[in-house]
Amino acid sequence: MASPAGEIRRARPDDAEKLGDSLARAFSDDPGFSHVLPNSADRTERLRIFFETELREVALPRGLVWTTEEVVGAAVWGPPDGWRVPLTRSIRDGPTMLRAFGRRLPLALWSRLRMDVKHPKGPPHWYLAVMGVAPEWQGRGLGTALMRPGLDEIDAAALPAYLESSTPRSRALYERNGFAVTGEMNVPAGGSARLADVAGWPPDTGGLGFGRIVSRRPTGGCAMGDRWFSNEELREMSRPTMERAVEAIEAGDLEKAKALCEAMKSESQFMHDLLVDGIAGLISFVKERLGDDGVEEAWTYSLERSWRKPVERIADSDRRAIAEALAATWRAHSTSGVGPSPGAFEITEDDEKITFTMNPCGSGQRLWRNRRYGPEGFGVTDEAHHWSYEREGFPLYCTHCAFMNETLPIRWIGYPVYPSDPPEDFDRDPCTWYWYKDPADIPDRHWTRHGLDREPTS
C-alpha cells in the first residue's frame, strides 16, 4: 500500500531508533505523557528512550508494527493472546524505564497498570497499542494508511479490536476508521482531566470497553470475562520460582527448569535497582538541603540503626563462613549479571585475605556508568572529606562505604569490617573490598585515611 511517505511495510529491527524518534515527537504533546512527564524541555528525549526500548524489546520481535518507507510513523498491534507485556519483561527493562521517566517512574507504572486493569478481558481481540505519526507528516492520511493493514488482517479473522485515544484529533481518526468510543479513563493521582477515550471496533461488537466507574458488558454474544487468571495460575504466580524450577527438574522437564532459572535472573533486578535509586535520591536530597555535613549525619544516623548489630554479629562469627556469605551477598548485589552495565566481580585469595574486585559494583558504580548523576539525577560532594576518600565531586551514594565499612565499625568493634578502596576512575577501575583472615593484619591506612588512631589489640 502506498502513502505520501512511501510504501506501508512491516517495521524491521533496524528501524527502532528512527521509529522511536518519530513516535517520541508524535506524542510530545500527548495529554497522558504530558501528565507523567510535565517538563516539556526533556519530554521528547525521554519518550525517545521509552519508545525505542518498547519497540526493540516487545513490539518489533512480534512482527506486528507497520511503518512507512521513510519511517515517519507506526501502528503497533498486540495480538489476542499476547497484547499484555509480561512482568518479567517489565522487570528486565526497569533500568531503561528509569532513564526514560526518572523520578516519575512510579506514576508512569501506575498509569500503565490502570490501563491494563481497565483493558477488556474478553472476547479475544486485537489491541492497537500505539498509533503515531511525526508532526511534520500529520494531516496527510498516514494514520489511516498505517492502520489499514492491521484492520484488514483483523477483518479476515473476524475479530474485534481495542485502543485508547487521548486527543479529539486522534478520536476523530479512529471514528473515521470504524471505532466507537465506549468509555473514558481519567488522569491518575487525582487529576480530573480526561486521559483517554476507549474505543471498540467494529462498533456493533457491543463495546469492548468500560465506563468511568465500572466495566460495561457488551451485547450480541461477546461476553467479557471478570477473571484474568484461573485459581491454579494465581497459585503458580505466588510460588517461589526456585521451588518451581526444582519441581521441574524432579519431573524431568529440564527445558522448563532452565526457562524458570533464566527468568529468575531478572526477578529481583527491578526492585534492587529501584531501592538503590531511592537511597541515592534520598542522600542527594539531604545534601541539597543540608550540605555535605548533612550527608555525614544522615549516614551515621541510618547505619547506627540498620548496620551496627549485623557488624557485631559478623565480628563474632567464623571468618571463613563470612567469606562465603559475602560472596553470596555480592552475587545477589550483582543481580545475576543482568541489566545495563551489569554488576560483575572476581574473588582472589592470598595468605592474608580474600579480595573481592567489583567492576562494576552492583549499585554505586552502575549508577555512575548508567549516567544517573547530574542535574536531573543524583548528587556529588562539594568538597573533599575523609569519607569521600579526600576527593571532591565524589558520588554521594558511594560515600556510604566509608561509613559502613570503615569509620563506624572502627567505633563499634575496633577495626574496619570490610576494608575497601573505591575506583580511581568510576568508568574503568574496580571497587575493591578485602576480608582479612585475621583483623590484626588489616593495614593501618584504613584508620589513618579517616584521621583515626589504631587501638592496640590483644
pLDDT in tens, 86-143: 655 565 666 777 888 888 888 777 777 777 777 777 778 888 989 999 999 988 889 9
Confidence (pLDDT) at 215: 22
**What pLDDT is stored for residue 93 in this prediction?**
66
Beta partners for residue 74, in sequence order: 67, 132
Query: What contacts 24+ positions apart, CB below 8 Å, involve 342-351?
Result: 342/366
The CA distance from 16 to 378, in Å, is 29
pTM strictly above 0.85: no
| CA–CA separation, 426 and 438 (whole Å) | 30
What dotted CATH number matches 8-228?
A: 3.40.630.30
Of 1-5, 206-210, 408-412, which range is least confident?
206-210
Q: Give all strands of the β-sheet with 65-68 in edge-to-edge order.
A: 8-10, 65-68, 73-78, 126-133, 161-165, 194-201, 180-186
Distance CA 337, CA 326 (A): 17
**Could you tell me the residue ranges of all domains in the chain?**
8-228, 269-448
What are 185-202's pLDDT values in tens digits? 664 443 333 344 445 544
Residue 32 CA: distances (Å) to CA of 23, 43, 185, 196, 224: 14, 12, 10, 8, 26
Query: Which residues, in sequence order, are bridge partners of residue 373?
Result: 378
R_g of the chain computed on alpha carbons: 27
Alpha helices in 121-223 (DSSP H): 142-157, 168-176
Q: Which residue, 358, 340, 326, is CA-closest to 269?
A: 340
Whether residue 29 is predicted with pLDDT greater than 70 in this model: the reply is: yes
Report whether 223 contacts 123 (CB < 8 A). yes
Q: Is 388 helix (H, G, I), strand (E, B) or coil?
A: helix
Letter for the amino acid at 40? Answer: S
Task: Count other Cβ atoms within 10 Å, centred on residue 11.
Answer: 22
